[in-house]
Every structure is written in C-alpha cells, then in structure tokens.
C-alpha cells in the first residue's frame, strides 16, 4: 500500500475529487460516469449526423446545468438535437412554439376556477418539463420572453403569488433564425446572459446528408431511439461535474480572458461575472465529456467563443468599421498568455 506521506499534494487532491465523485454516484464508479456520457453522445449521433463537436458542447452545457441558445437557419436539426438529448437522458421534453400572440400564461400555466370545489386550480404550462425547446424565441414578445427568466435563473415559476418548483434537471434550449428579422423581438442583454452558451449547428457534409436520407427513408430515427440513462443519474452526474479539477493557473487564465473583454476599446459591454462562472462550469463539464478529471487551457479556448461571444456588445464606432465580436474575442485569445503547457494540470 502506498504511504499517504509519499503522495504529492496534487495527487491527494485528485484522489479526493475522485472519491467524492464516486460517493455522489453511489455504487457507480468514475468509469461508469464516463461510460454514461459516451452512451448519451453515441445515441445522439444515431440521429444527428456529422455533428460530434456540437453534440459534445450541447451535452457539456446540459451536464453543467446551463441553458443553450441555438442560433442557425431552419432545417439543420436544432430541435432534433434537443429531442435526441432528452430521449437519451430519460428526461421529459416539451416544445414551445413562440409566436407574437403567445402569452406568459401559455408558457408558465394558469389558474382556473373549479366550480365544483369553488377553488382555483393551477394547470401547469409546458415549462414544467426537464428539457424544453423554445422554438424561434425571438418571435415571442418581450413580456413572454421574460416569463422564462425566473425559470432559467432559479428553477421556479411564480403564478398568482404562488411559487412552483420545476423538476430537475431543467434545461432550456432556445432557437432563433439569425437571417430573418422581420416580425421578431431581439433578446435583451439580460436574457442573453442567462444562456450559458450559444451554438450553431451548421449544414452536414454531403456524405452525412446522404446517410440521413437513407435512414429517414422508412421512418424517422427518433421513433426508435431509446433512453440510455435516467434523470436521477443525470443529477448525480451534474453534481459530479463540480468535482472536476481546475488548476489555479487555468482559473487565472479564464479570469484574464473575461477581464480583457471589459477593457477592449471595441466593446461597450464586456463579459459579466456570470460569464466567468459559466465559462468555469462549462470547462469542467467539457473536460468530463472529453474523459478527463481536470481542465486544460485548450478547454477554455474551445469554449470561449460559444460562452462569451453572445454576451459582448460592440460600440457604435467598431460596428461601423465592421468589427465583429468574433474577431474581438479571437484577438483577445491571441493576446492573453496561455499557461505553460508543461504544467501538470492534474495537480493543485
């Protein structure tokens, strides 16, 4: 048996993290944790072809307890992506079709008077599910959009002075079309900041699209998709994500990138402290999806754009010069020194 005194501080910290993760899983080991993530992604890839990186990032946000804004043109499987995640994880799913006449009560629910009991009864709206697609969210009015704020921030819904707890895990995937702007209500900064990250799906390559046509010739692959885990396991996995180790140098790297956005001469609004926490949590989850128990600087560089870009606002001068938030963030990542790659990121 290895003597405790011979273990380095870093190795002891890593072992403690692994023990905590095992305790949160009960009889399930860390290897089972990794296998569950692989099973979810493999199941989703049966339906969403040629989008491994998108699936990894979406699963990372889900396991980190965050919400996702899917911004892309119609018909690229945004809703199918979310439905496959819901089925694979064994979570309940609802889809809200956002339109200008959609009311907040159509989302949260409404109290109806029961003449027999002479009391008001609350009928729950579609927000009372574990995974939700708010389709074309920018077509809903600001009042209806804001009805999701409390649910996204606190996991609660307040109706007629009563607060109702939402089932966990709870995740909102909102979609919007970046091309068509007529008859839309752009999301305000406060709402955008609630989304952990923004994703684009993109078109599949010609081979994957050919496979898709063949698979859908007789039936939709979603019709035969089966769960590979359940909601309770997802909750334990979300708890275990918090034990993924983040070296102090990597944590400092995250903070330097975020703070540089606040000092940029091109931006009138930089990333908030909520953005720092979102990037931190997303990196922990992404490391777990990659099969690691620790975060590396490359995780930060991979997730900086989807986590931070939609939170940044250009100043008028930079907008006129056709500067983009993408280019600003790219320059920031090039300027901020990356922690030395020779470090042992497993160590404390």
Domains in the chain: ranges and CATH: 32-243 (3.40.50.300), 244-348 (1.10.8.80)
* Cα gap 109→128, rounded to integer Å: 9
d(CA 336, CA 253): 8
The pLDDT of residue 65 is: 95
CA distances to 78, 87, 223, 269 from 83, in Å: 9, 6, 11, 34
Q: Is the pLDDT at 9 greater than 70, yes or no? A: no
User: Which whole-number Å values give the CA distances from 261 to 242, 270, 296, in the listed order?
Assistant: 26, 5, 21
Residues 288/37, Cβ–Cβ less than 8 Å: yes
347 pLDDT exceeds 90? no
pLDDT value, residue 10: 41
Structural Rg of the chain based on CA atoms: 22
Task: Determine the average pLDDT of the residues in 184-194.
Answer: 87
Residue 28 has pLDDT above 60, yes or no: no
Residue count of the chain: 348
Within the chain, how many helices (H) and strands (E) appear? 15, 11
Highest mean pLDDT among 16-20, 181-185, 204-208: 204-208
């Amino acid at each position: 048996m290895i003597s405790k005194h011979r273990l380095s501080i870093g190795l002891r910290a890593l072992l403690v993290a692994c023990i905590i993760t095992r305790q949160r899983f009960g009889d399930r080991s860390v290897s089972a944790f990794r296998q569950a993530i692989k099973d979810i992604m493999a199941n989703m890839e049966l339906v969403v072809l040629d989008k491994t990186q998108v699936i990894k990032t979406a699963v990372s946000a889900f396991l980190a307890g965050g919400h996702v804004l899917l911004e892309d043109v119609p018909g690229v499987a945004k809703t199918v992506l979310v439905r496959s995640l819901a089925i694979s994880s064994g979570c309940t799913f609802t889809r809200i079709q956002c339109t200008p006449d959609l009311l907040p009560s159509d989302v949260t629910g409404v109290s109806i008077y029961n003449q027999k009991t002479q009391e008001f009864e609350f009928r729950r709206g579609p927000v009372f599910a574990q995974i939700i697609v708010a389709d074309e969210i920018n077509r809903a009015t600001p009042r209806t959009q804001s009805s999701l704020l409390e649910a996204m921030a606190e996991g609660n819904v307040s109706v007629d002075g009563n607060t109702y707890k939402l089932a966990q895990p709870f995740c909102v995937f909102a979609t919007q079309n970046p091309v068509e702007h007529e008859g839309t209500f752009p999301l305000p900064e406060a709402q955008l900041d609630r989304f952990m990250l923004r994703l684009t799906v993109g078109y599949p390559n010609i081979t994957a699209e050919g496979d898709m046509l063949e698979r859908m010739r007789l039936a939709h692959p979603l019709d035969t998709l089966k769960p590979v885990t359940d909601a309770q396991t997802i909750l334990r996995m979300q708890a275990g994500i918090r034990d993924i180790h983040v070296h102090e140098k990597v944590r400092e790297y995250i903070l330097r990138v975020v703070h540089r956005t606040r000092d940029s001469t091109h931006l009138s609004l930089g990333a908030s402290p909520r953005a720092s926490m979102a990037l931190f949590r997303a990196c922990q989850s992404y490391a777990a999806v990659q099969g690691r128990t620790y975060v590396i600087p490359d995780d930060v560089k991979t997730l900086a754009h989807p986590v931070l870009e939609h939170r940044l606002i250009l100043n008028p001068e930079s907008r006129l010069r056709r500067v983009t938030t993408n280019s600003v963030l790219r320059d920031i990542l090039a300027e901020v020194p990356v922690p030395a790659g020779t470090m042992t990121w497993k160590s404390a």
